Amino acid sequence: MDREHTMPNTLEELRTLERHVEREWWWLHGAINAVAQARTEHEHGDLRSFREMQAQALEVDRQRVQIALRIAELAIGLNEPSRSQ
């Protein structure tokens, strides 16, 4: 999800996006751990690349939270009784 795009408004679209971002987050998490391991094993590891992947992972994690909150908002809205009564 790019920052310029708006958050989807349907549960189906949000859940699809949530799965995509979840996969991306896990990939980045694994990559960061691999870099950290390589860094500890080799003194001359590239710290800049490690920091860039950390920043990416934080951004993806932020997106995961936004999507989860939006899903919760929509789910609550679907479960509320009609206010027109």
Q: Indicate whether 66 belongs to any domain.
A: yes
Q: What is the pLDDT of residues 28-82, one digit of tens each?
A: 988 888 877 777 667 665 677 777 878 888 999 999 999 999 999 898 887 766 5
Q: Cβ neighbours of residue 60 under 8 Å, at least 6 residues apart?
A: 21, 24, 25, 28
Distances (CA, A) of 27 to 36, 41, 46, 54, 58: 14, 21, 19, 12, 13
Distance CA 71, CA 79 (A): 12
Encoded tokens for 83: 């206010």
Q: Indicate whether 8 belongs to any domain.
A: no
Q: Indicate whether 5 belongs to any domain.
A: no
Give the residue numbers spanning the domain of 65: 18-77
pLDDT at 45 (0 to 100) = 58
**Positive/negative CA dihedral, 69, 63, 57, 33:** positive
Q: Are 71 and 11 in contact (CB under 8 A)?
A: yes
Q: Indicate whether 41 belongs to any domain.
A: yes
pTM of the model: 0.55
Q: Indicate whether 23 belongs to any domain.
A: yes
Q: Indicate whether 43 belongs to any domain.
A: yes
Q: Indicate whether 71 belongs to any domain.
A: yes
Q: How many structural domains is the chain composed of? A: 1
